[in-house]
Chains A and B, each alone.
Chain A
Amino acid sequence: MTSPGPGRHAGVSICGMGLVLPGPTPGMLPSVPSPRLAAGPVYSCRELPALPPRYARALRRLCRADHLALAAAVQAVGDRGGQEGPDDETAVCVGTGMGVVGATAAFLESMVEENEGNPKPTAFTNSLHNVPAAQIAVYLGLRGPNNTFIHGSVSFELALWRALRMMETGQARRAVVVGVDEASPYVVTAGQRRGWFRGDGASLDPMAGSAARVRGTVPGEGAGALLLCRESDAPQGRREARLAGLRIEPPADPRIAVRDPDAEAEFVVDALESAGVAMEDVDLLLLGANGDCRIDDAHRRVVGALARSGRVSCGVFKSSCGEFCAAAAVGVVLGAMAVRDGALAPAIRLLGRPVRARAVSCVACYNLYETGYRSLCVVKA
């Protein structure tokens, strides 16, 4: 699963960004329907972000994931204010690993508890995976193609891939790409039982977990959004971030422990090359490491292999949002912001001192997942 060559993506500008991040420390989820479910710890948005006043009526129907996704999309697109007519040329692509868990759970809970007594229509229609994408389309008036990807940890990357492909082939002129997942006691508990999440309440400290041999990460939630447009359509005179390349690779072998770090380093270098970027051009390698020593170790070995041909500046971001399926969206948006602003947002934690002192103009976001999938996304000035 390769990305197309540099010439083809070179024309895609990131002309809007949106980010909804949870609080800086893990807390407890507010409501838990069964004593068998764990309440936390989890990085969660205690207060959902405000939406423009004209969305007031919509709020009664918005579930958590819808709200997070819509808030990020409105930031990225700017509130169209309902002034402009419908837009046939903008696609909406959403990646979410879990979908609208809360609505699904609400429908199923009442179905089980009342023995199918009074199924709630709104809970059912809200439970569909594509509701966040649909809400974005409805409230921003976007009538272009509308796709939702549900594919574990690469859901966001696939949404991004789809948007790029549709823009290349003329199926869309612009695209709103969103990665979103909501925290839920079901996800937290299931993750704890499977050893993915730890329950000790400690904050997430990616790439520090290795030394302490910490097992498990801390769950989170959030949303990241990009508005992509053709370079020729981008507003002039502003420093823009461009999407220079994207590669997603399914696992050859699903067991992360046996991955060959040299082969992984090759994946990174190859993916950069097809984006027209050399390793030394990368100002920051933003890692999807999540504080679980197994995942952190795997990232560290790859960085070690890459460093043989020159030092690399690395950073992590999951200390700002916790781990969730579509968290790659947070990394890519933070990377794009860094390129636009020439400086790193506080949500990015640098590992060691930066190698180069110059302003950030190229960020590569690299994720290596428990499932064996990996992805690399390159953002350039």
Chain B
Amino acid sequence: MRTDRVAITGIGIVSAAGWTPEELWSAIEAERSGLGRLTLFDSPRCGHVPVGQVIGDPAARSGLSRGSRTDHFAVCAARDALEDSGLREPGPAADRRRMGVVLGGTTGGMLSTEAFLQKLLLDEAFDAALLRDHQCCAATEAVAAGLQLRGFRATVSDACASSNAAVAIGCDVLRSGEADVMLAGGADSLTRLTLNGFCSLLNVSHEGARPFDAERSGLSLGEGAGMLVLEREEAAVARGARIYGLVAGYGSTCDANHLTAPMPDGSAAANAMRRALEMAGIAPAAVDYVNAHGTGTVTNDLAEARALRAVFGSRPPAVSSTKRFFGHTLGAAGAMEAVVCVLAMQRQRFPANLGFRTMDAEVGFAPVAHTCDGTIRAIVTNSFGFGGNNCSLVICGREA
């Protein structure tokens, strides 16, 4: 057994398609989208587009006395993941200074920052309390405090690649021996800023994202949190933990080309996948499933399709984007999709690329149309973000 392999021993998720991995998986089996009407706030300009809004009361579920919607999502998913790994009560011998957390996020407590600005500009009142949980790292600190994780803490914000980066960082922390247990994931809530922002880019779909479909009309925003509990494989085996699989490799690159537009040839994205596979020691031909970034915008889908062809040749493995299930959750997307990958591998089922009907010749392949059986030993999961950030993870079984 290689001593630096990183095992996934717990998962947690909060999404528009469910508050638990089981709920989410039933939605994936039923091919039921979590996209729906926005009720979280009024949006005169963009209120009509479908979004992946989490239903229910996150504050009640998190039990936190304060914090942003993002913080609540993060704490719920983190608590479930830690519970799932059996480390919620790690025993008196456990050193909590050896347990850490690394999260990705983009907007943190922006919802209340928006309320702050409304008060300031419309009522001339400066309500500093509304800024208290503004930063993304508030979620990281809330998770650390709530679950008594006293070790390594970091918050990374690489736009839509944030939480894949968080998983990669979590693995590096374990491999260098700076912690024994790492919670790695991401959380983001819907905000007026991101909704209006993406609408101003004219890339939000009016009927819901249909990634890779010839008639796609843009992305759909969502919210939520995804968390993985990571441990060195040998430590996980030694304590008799249930091991879902490994994070065997990760690779990240930057397009260094344009602030928002992906490099049309997808070359830097392809390099991110190649680096991840190289670290994992897995040949492209051995990959059974790719969970694509697949936002449903023309520019992303075509660039990603080219990147996939560059890595896997003209016949890529089974590919699906699962974004129509809960929307594009920005800083949480990578970690939530990593949870989908873990579930797919556990159940040996390919999750559907919900919303796909018509093959796009320019994409050049048809994604998984319906959730179905498959042999899944090795998975590549992609997250690409503004700023040209590309981060790919390889998740595989222990025998892959």
A residues with CB within 8 A of B: 1-2, 4, 33-37, 61, 86, 88, 92, 97-99, 104-105, 107-109, 111-113, 115-117, 119-121, 124-131, 133-135, 137-138, 140-152, 158, 162, 165-166, 168-169, 171, 189-190, 193-194, 250, 252
Contact = CB atoms under 8 A, between A and B. Distances in A.
B126 A92 contact: no
Contact of B254 (A107, A119, A137, A150): A137
A137 B154 contact: no
Given A1-B100, A1-B178, A116-B44, A88 B157 contact: no
Contacts of A117: 45
B288 interface: no
Contact of B124 (A35, A131, A137): A35
A10 to B, nearest CB: 15
A147 B251 CA distance: 12
Contact of B165 (A128, A135, A147, A252): A147
Interface string B375-393: 0000000000111110000
Contacts of A37: 120, 126
B312 to A, nearest CB: 20
A146 B299 CA distance: 21
B346 interface: no
Contacts of A116: 43-46, 192, 196
A138 B253 contact: no
Nearest to A96: B157
B121 interface: yes
B48 interface: no
A143 B256 contact: yes
A156 to B, nearest CB: 12
Contact of B193 (A33, A111, A171): A111
Contacts of B125: 36
A108 B126 contact: no
A71 B192 CA distance: 32
A142 B152 contact: no
B252 interface: yes
Contacts of B205: none
A144 B271 CA distance: 10
A112 B200 contact: no
Nearest to B151: A1
Contacts of A33: 121
Interface of B is mostly: mixed
Contacts of B118: 112
Nearest to B129: A193
Contacts of B258: 138
B172 A119 contact: no
A153 B74 CA distance: 21
Contacts of A140: 256
A134 B45 contact: no
B155 interface: yes
A107 B113 CA distance: 12
A131 B259 contact: yes
B349 interface: no
B117 interface: yes
Contact of B259 (A61, A88, A105): A61
B199 A147 contact: no
Given A1-B100, A36-B124, A144-B253, A130 B158 contact: yes
B180 interface: no
A158 B175 CA distance: 17
12 contacts: A119-B199, A120-B200, A124-B198, A129-B159, A130-B159, A130-B387, A144-B253, A145-B253, A146-B252, A162-B154, A190-B128, A250-B152
B240 to A, nearest CB: 27
Interface in B249-266: 251-260
B176 interface: yes
B385 A130 contact: yes
Contact of B106 (A1, A129, A168, A252): A129
Find the residue from B46, B120, B177 having the highest chain A CB count within 10 A.
B120
B151 to A, nearest CB: 6
Sorted from nearest, which 10 A-B pairs have the closest CB atoms? A134-B387, A124-B197, A129-B157, A146-B254, A116-B45, A119-B200, A145-B252, A193-B128, A137-B256, A119-B196
Contacts of A250: 144, 150-153
Given A1-B100, A107-B197, A250-B151, A128 B126 contact: no
B184 to A, nearest CB: 14
A61 to B, nearest CB: 7
Contacts of A194: 128
A219 B173 CA distance: 33
A116 to B, nearest CB: 4
Interface string B148-190: 0011111111110000010001001001111100000000000
B140 A34 contact: no
Given A147-B156, A149-B157, A250-B144, 6 more contacts: A119-B45, A128-B386, A135-B259, A138-B256, A151-B155, A194-B128
A251 B126 CA distance: 30
A107 B193 contact: yes
B256 A142 contact: yes
B386 A134 contact: yes
Given A112-B122, A146-B388, A150-B155, A92 B259 contact: no
Nearest to A113: B121
B190 to A, nearest CB: 14
A36 B197 contact: no
B114 interface: yes
B388 A137 contact: yes
Interface in B187-220: 192-193, 196-201
A126 B259 CA distance: 9
B254 A143 contact: yes
Interface in B87-129: 100, 105-106, 113-114, 117-118, 120-122, 124-126, 128
A366 B126 CA distance: 35
Q: Considering residues B43, B118, B387, which has the most beta carbons from chain A within 10 angstroms of its beta carbon?
A: B387
B140 A134 contact: no
Nearest to B115: A112
B131 interface: yes
A74 to B, nearest CB: 15
Contact of B260 (A125, A143, A147, A189): A125
A108 B107 CA distance: 13
Contacts of B44: 115-116
Nearest to B386: A128
A115 B192 CA distance: 11
B342 interface: no
